[in-house]
Chains A and B, each alone.
Chain A
Amino acid sequence: MTGNLNVIGYGLAAIGPAIAVGLIFAAYISGVARQPESRGMLQPIAILGFALAEALALFGLVLAFIL
């Protein structure tokens, strides 16, 4: 079997952001479930947190390509 070690590295690196995205939206959902009126306040924070976590995954993607 042949392959590229960078891909395995990226696969491992993507675990962290994946868990982070899961945690962020889990917290968002439970927050909205408890207090539906807080949705307007929580949603921007959740989106921004998601973008931050996603940035890490994309850094990993770029590094997997250029290293």
Chain B
Amino acid sequence: MGDREPQDDDQQGTRPHAVGWNALSYMLSGLLLGVGVGWLLSRWLGTDLMMLVGLLGGMSLSMYVIWVRYVREH
């Protein structure tokens, strides 16, 4: 384990691992948000369809955030 100095622009060796787990956190958040909003909407409107819409919407939102945070910068 040498005292190697990582360059500033270099993507460090352990980062993808942590980013991967963090992406999972984002997906779960999108799921919670989407299902939560969908559940409220479907109670309000009286249809179960909103649940599915919320699920898909929440997932798309978290995919978008992952794209913005970890893909667009590169």
Q: Which residues of A contact B (CB under 8 A)?
A: 25, 28, 39-41, 43-48, 50-52, 54-55, 58-59, 61-62, 66
Closest to A44 in B: B71
**A51-B74 contact in complex given A39-B11, A43-B16, C-beta closer than 8 Å:** no
Q: Which residues of A contact B31 (CB under 8 A)?
A: 58, 61-62
CB contact between A40 and one of B11, B19, B66 (< 8 Å): that residue: B11
Is chain A's interface secondary structure helix, strand, loop, or mixed overall?
helix
Interchain pairs with CB closer than 8 A, number: 56
What are 29 inter-chain pairs, A to B, with CB distance below 8 A?
Answer: A25-B20, A39-B11, A43-B15, A43-B16, A43-B74, A45-B71, A46-B16, A46-B20, A47-B16, A47-B19, A47-B20, A47-B70, A47-B71, A48-B70, A50-B20, A50-B23, A51-B26, A51-B62, A51-B66, A52-B63, A54-B23, A55-B59, A55-B63, A58-B59, A59-B55, A62-B31, A62-B35, A62-B55, A66-B51
